[in-house]
A and B are shown apart, each in its own frame.
Chain A
Amino acid sequence: MTTWIDASCILIVFLALTMLATYRIVGIIKIFAAQSFVLGLTPFFLHADGLTIRDIVIAMGTIVLKTAFVPFVLLWAMRHVSMRSEIKPIIGLGTSIVFGAMIIAGAFWVSLSLHLPGKPISDLMLPCSLSTVLLGFLIMVTRTRAVTQVLGYLVMENGIFLFTLSLFDVMPTLIEMGILLDIFVAVFIMAIIVNHINDEFERSPASVSRSKMGEAF
């Protein structure tokens, strides 16, 4: 089972890196859906001694919300916005990948000094979740389109969710479902605002607010 979890972790980071290197927004949404699907499958491999109902609920919840609903909402938002690809990322795609690789190396290095209490399910879970969170953050701060920034936020959330799986016994299912629902509502509201923004600006304002947003980080 650990082999499967390791494979999922690597795939999740790989897909996050692919998102960083993708130009077309629809493409990024599709890769995000694929990443969420892999993430949704991970709970199935958590318990070697058989599946619990909880594993199934969390897995199905993730797959339905993040692989189906969220990409659907984002694609719906895209239909109303007259743009298909990232115009001017703050840093070029090639440079982004180099930064991404550095982030992954950094995350693995930091993870060496962090020890999870108890018996870890997989040694790759912590470094991979940290890498995904940081890659999501990188997408968010280097892209100018509002939809891509939302996707960066979602990749961050996926990284955090991967991290949650290592804490399966501490969080009650209800809270986990609540967190999932929150993320869905967040995306929904963001999509509506992207639409309103488009009505008002004809194009996304995220590039306008970029410089000011930079102050926050």
Chain B
Amino acid sequence: MLAILILIPFICAFLVMLPSTKQFKGKLFLLVTLLHGLIVASFWKVLPAPEFDGFIALDQMSLILMSIISLLFLLVAVFMLGYFEHEQRSNRKLIACLLALLSTMTLSSVSRHMGLLWMAVETSTLFSAPLISFHRNRDSLEATWKYLLVCSVGIALALMGTFFLAIAAHDVHTLLLSEILDKASSLSTNWLKLSVIFLLVGYGCKMGLAPMHSWKPEAYGQSTGMVAVLMSGAVTQCSFLALVRVGQICGKTGLADFYSSILILTGLLSLAVPALFILSERNIKRAFAYSSIEHMGLLVLGLGMGGVGVFGALFHMINNALAKVIMFLTAGSIAQKYGSSRMDEVRGVIHIYPVTGTFLISALLAGTGMFPFATFHSELMILNAAVISRHYVLAFFVVACLAVMFIGVARIVLDIVHGQPTEPVLEKKENFFMNSAIVAAIIGLIGIGLWMPAPLEKILSAAVLIANG
């Protein structure tokens, strides 16, 4: 079943390359994502058996990520139906790359071999690169080049880390996660430490953790909202899964403290850097990109803190993904309507597009972790973990960074929403498909913020046990 789930989108990626109408491609994409979503939903009842000698298998941790991927693609597919009503460019390459990306990300969520996991993450980098240059102008090509080079170097370092892990696991004779965990005591600690550092830098580069974040504002700023959603909500979180897997190995080999300390350090840096840059930012997409760096920082911080922090981090994976849908799809919708996402050129959105304006306010609240959005709860859990472990200075630092981020993002969003319109814009109708995708994400995020369904809590608790080793 897992192999089918990986193969279907990949085959459809080739189908999309055949000549057909724009509408057909959009509907095929929706159909594939719907099918993917239904199969993933069935896994919530019964987990499928491992396949290919255990190289691919689904545990609760993978299931969370896979569900996020599936949900994001479904929402993007709905949004895309509306987006291409106003877009002149062909959607052929975009949808083909998106389907290939869906396939490789599904593979990375179920990989249980560290080499295969690297391969899947690398392939997802490659398929996401052409997506950034969809508009193919000077800036977007430069952003793509930067993304490709920075991430390729990062991913090469992760490969080096994977090989160091292979040396550490010399007596295990395989990189299968289950075998490594079973024979963890035979691992060479020195090589494992070296491997952990390389893997963290490598996958951290792909996640956009500071100081390897430089590609993020460019890439998200130049790509369409839909691509930014998938990159910030799904592609980066695949790398986070890799870091969780590394944490599992560290937990079994007595390196948990060593790993936690570098995770906390990286997390704090990823909170501080965007806070420094956000106040001088004038582009809404770039501002949301900085917010994404901050959220990635929160994820690794939660993982590093342990205890309730891990639960918070895993819950934050879901919340971050939904918040990114609201943020980037709304930003994408504005960019399409105004042809810009800079606050100097877009003002007074609520006067012309009341619904989009309201979405942007929701994006601000969801992205900065305000009640009743679930991001509030997960951020609180991560903060709670810091307080429980008596890291009061750290907790204060996190709150200060979050406050600065709130001020920075609010400054741009409120100016765009409530400012005086600079020039009259041609009256365009709001699009049903585009808006319904955003509404679904808002309802979902508020929903799990107010009430967590029992199955979700069960899966999250099981995933926490896995992550803690």
Contacts and interface: CB of A to CB of B under 8 A. Distances in A.
A200 B142 CA distance: 10
Interface string B121-144: 011001001100100111001101
Interface stretch (A10-18, A93-101, A203-211): A203-211
Contacts of A186: 122, 126, 148, 152
Contacts of A197: 141-142, 145
A208 B215 CA distance: 15
A216 B167 contact: no
A170 B152 contact: no
Interface stretch (B41-49, B171-179, B224-232, B238-246): B171-179
Nearest to A198: B141
Contacts of A200: 136-138, 141
A186 B115 CA distance: 17
Given A182-B119, A185-B126, A193-B129, A170 B169 contact: yes
A189 B142 contact: no
Contacts of A217: 153
Interface of B is mostly: helix
Given A153-B152, A160-B163, A170-B170, A216 B212 contact: yes
Nearest to A215: B214
A137 interface: yes
A156 interface: yes
A190 interface: yes
Contacts of B129: 189, 193
B17 to A, nearest CB: 15
B156 A205 contact: no
Most chain A beta-carbon contacts within 10 A, residue among B146, B167, B174, B218:
B167
A149 B159 contact: no
Interface in B146-166: 146, 148-150, 152-153, 156, 159-160, 163, 166
Most buried by A among B129, B133, B153: B153
A216 B219 CA distance: 14
Given A118-B170, A167-B167, A140 B153 contact: yes
B153 A170 contact: no
Nearest to A140: B153
Contacts of A160: 156, 159-160, 163
A116 B142 CA distance: 41
Interface in A104-149: 116-118, 133, 137, 140, 146, 149
Interface string A156-180: 1100100110010111100100110
Nearest to B176: A172
A171 B137 contact: no
Contact of B159 (A179, A185, A201, A206): A179
B123 A182 contact: yes
Contacts of B163: 160, 163-164, 167
A3 to B, nearest CB: 24
B116 interface: yes
A134 B464 CA distance: 38
B149 A193 contact: no
Nearest to A153: B152
B188 A117 contact: yes
A213 interface: yes
B113 interface: yes
Contacts of A209: 142, 145-146
B105 to A, nearest CB: 15
B115 A172 contact: yes
Given A163-B163, A170-B173, A189-B129, A153 B141 contact: no
A215 B218 CA distance: 13
A47 interface: no
Given A117-B167, A179-B122, 20 more contacts: A116-B167, A117-B188, A118-B170, A133-B160, A137-B153, A153-B156, A157-B156, A167-B166, A169-B173, A172-B115, A175-B113, A182-B123, A186-B148, A192-B130, A193-B144, A193-B148, A201-B138, A205-B138, A215-B214, A216-B214
28 contacts: A117-B170, A117-B188, A149-B149, A156-B153, A160-B160, A164-B163, A170-B166, A170-B175, A175-B116, A175-B119, A178-B116, A179-B118, A182-B126, A185-B126, A189-B129, A189-B130, A190-B148, A192-B130, A193-B129, A201-B141, A205-B142, A206-B145, A212-B218, A213-B146, A216-B205, A216-B211, A216-B214, A217-B153
Interface of B: 113, 115-116, 118-119, 122-123, 126, 129-130, 133, 136-138, 141-142, 144-146, 148-150, 152-153, 156, 159-160, 163, 166-167, 169-171, 173-175, 188, 191, 205, 211-212, 214-215, 218
Interface of A: 116-118, 133, 137, 140, 146, 149, 153, 156-157, 160, 163-164, 167, 169-172, 175, 178-179, 182, 185-186, 189-190, 192-193, 196-197, 200-201, 205-206, 208-209, 212-213, 215-217
What 6 A-B pairs have minimum CB-CB distances, sorted nearest first? A117-B170, A175-B115, A216-B214, A170-B166, A215-B214, A178-B119
